[in-house]
């Protein structure tokens, strides 16, 4: 028979844990809304940027010569950027991103790692902790681990600028980013995306955007393109960070919701055990009294 | 003419203006009403939006401007 006091204490501790998970869920819900808002805010910027790119590409008629889109024949210095959250308690979110990152390294850059030429940049403490231990021979870039404590686009663009500078200076030959793509509060996907070189931008054939105006391009089309592409890449990098940020809160919200539910179930079970034990004790006491009375009367 | 100034984080300006001055890569220039369609990249400097009654300035690091049918879109990185 379960000890009454023990069960009572367990119920109490489960209840207080449940309160914590419930509060965390609500905090995550609020933060998620903010993070989603940031994604919505950057959309017009992204859209306009791509529109301008389309204009230039159409004017240039496939003669685009984009340095950032050229695959390097030999990749000697690959870089993997791992964007994770700073904190845990968000289910398998960070584990999944790390897993994707590790899979990419094992698959593509195992020999680079052995030669000590693999670069890993971590944004978010969880990824940094893991990759430091797991890949001691890699060249770690840990200056921006704490980005998420103050997620402003200026700082994100600075990091992206730095990456692109190193790429342009041939210090890096390819850049992959492992991050959590955000779909909605309940769905996040851990993904690895090739950040540089970027895929050759395609000219969309849709003529429905009104008659194409005869634009004046300054300084000239080619140079404009060389400015536009990095800007688009930086914006994409910003998007990766925003997505991961929103995903983190979405994942934590789901995890905490599940935890609250589980606590509720646990509490129910414990309460049944408690009531059973209580009833048993009462029955026992009653039968003892009855037995005692019978013994006296007999 | 209608002017919007966008940063990745928020809309910094949205409304009518009579004059916009930007640090174009090929030199600082001004956009007035009925300007020809134009796309230009911007370099570090100050974007000035003059709505007649007030002037607003934005310090930028890089950016782009598109002018089309009296609609001016300025994308900036600060």
By DSSP bridging, strand B2-6 and strand B71-77 are: parallel
User: How many domains in chain A?
Assistant: 1
User: Which residue in B9, B73, B77 is closest to A48 by CB distance?
Assistant: B73
**A158 within a domain of the structure (yes/no):** yes
Question: What is the extent of the structural domain holding A117?
Answer: 28-200+215-254
pLDDT digits (tens, 9 = 90+) for A3-19: 889 999 999 999 999 99
Smallest CA-to-CA distance from A12 within A294, A263, A202 is with: A263
By residue count, chain B amounts to 78
Is A154 in the B-facing interface, judged by CB distances under 8 Å? yes
| Residues of chain A found within 8 Å of residue B25, distances taken between Cβ atoms | 218-219, 223, 227
User: Which residue in A51, A213, A235 is closest to B8 by CB distance?
Assistant: A235
Residue A169 DSSP one-character state: T
How many other C-beta atoms lie within 10 A of the C-beta of residue A259? 19
ipTM associated with this complex: 0.91
The reply to whether residue A153 touches residue B6, judged by beta carbons under 8 angstroms, is: no
| Residues of chain B found within 8 Å of residue A228, distances taken between Cβ atoms | 41, 64
Shortest Cα distance from B55 to chain A (angstroms)? 23
**A19 within a domain of the structure (yes/no):** no
**A90 within a domain of the structure (yes/no):** yes
**A78 within a domain of the structure (yes/no):** yes
pLDDT digits (tens, 9 = 90+) for A155-212: 999 999 999 999 999 999 999 999 999 998 888 999 999 998 888 887 776 654 545 6
The reply to whether residue B6 touches residue A44, judged by beta carbons under 8 angstroms, is: yes
CA distances for B69 relative to A38, A130, A206, A243, B23, angstroms: 30, 53, 20, 34, 21
**A127 within a domain of the structure (yes/no):** yes
Range list of H helices, A80-120? 93-108, 110-114
| Residues of chain A found within 8 Å of residue B23, distances taken between Cβ atoms | none
Nearest residue in chain B measured CA to CA from A54: B39
Q: Output the domain CATH number for residue A170.
A: 3.40.1380.10
Q: Domains of chain B by range and CATH?
A: 1-53 (2.60.15.10)
pLDDT digits (tens, 9 = 90+) for A102-161: 999 999 999 999 999 999 999 999 999 999 999 999 999 999 999 998 888 999 999 999
Is B37 in the A-facing interface, judged by CB distances under 8 Å? yes
What token pair was written down for B39?
Answer: 């796309």
């Amino acid at each position: 028979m379960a000890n009454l006091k023990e069960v009572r204490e367990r119920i109490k501790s489960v209840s207080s844990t449940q309160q914590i998970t419930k509060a965390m869920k609500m905090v995550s819900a609020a933060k998620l809304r903010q993070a989603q808002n940031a994604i919505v805010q950057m959309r017009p910027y992204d859209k306009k940027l791509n529109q301008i790119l389309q204009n230039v590409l159409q004017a240039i008629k496939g003669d685009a010569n984009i340095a950032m889109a050229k695959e390097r024949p030999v990749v000697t210095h690959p870089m993997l950027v791992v964007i994770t959250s700073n904190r845990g308690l968000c289910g398998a979110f960070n584990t999944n991103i790390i897993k994707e990152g590790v899979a990419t390294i094992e698959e593509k850059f195992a020999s680079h790692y052995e030669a000590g030429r693999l670069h890993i940049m971590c944004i978010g403490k969880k990824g940094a902790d893991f990759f430091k231990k797991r890949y001691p021979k890699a060249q770690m870039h840990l200056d921006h681990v704490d980005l998420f404590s103050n997620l402003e686009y200026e700082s994100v663009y600075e990091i992206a600028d730095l990456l692109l500078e190193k790429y342009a200076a041939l210090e890096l030959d390819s850049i992959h980013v492992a991050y959590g793509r955000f779909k909605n509060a309940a769905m996040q996907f851990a993904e690895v995306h090739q950040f540089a070189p970027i895929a050759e931008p395609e000219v969309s054939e849709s003529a429905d955007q009104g008659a194409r105006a005869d634009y004046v391009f300054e300084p000239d089309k080619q140079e404009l393109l060389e400015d536009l592409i990095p800007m688009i890449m930086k914006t994409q990098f910003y998007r990766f960070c925003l997505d991961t940020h929103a995903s983190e809160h979405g994942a934590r919200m789901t995890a905490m919701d599940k935890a609250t539910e589980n606590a509720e179930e646990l509490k129910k079970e414990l309460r049944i055990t408690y009531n059973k034990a209580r009833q048993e004790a009462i029955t026992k006491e009653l039968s003892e009294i009855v037995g005692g009375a019978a013994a006296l009367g007999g | 003419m209608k002017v919007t100034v966008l940063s990745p984080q928020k809309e910094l300006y949205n409304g009518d203006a009579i004059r916009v001055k930007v640090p174009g890569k090929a030199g600082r220039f001004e956009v007035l009403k009925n300007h020809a369609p134009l796309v230009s990249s911007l370099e570090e400097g100050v974007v000035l939006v003059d709505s007649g009654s007030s002037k607003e300035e934005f310090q930028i690091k890089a950016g782009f401007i598109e002018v089309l049918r009296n609609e001016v879109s300025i994308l900036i990185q600060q």
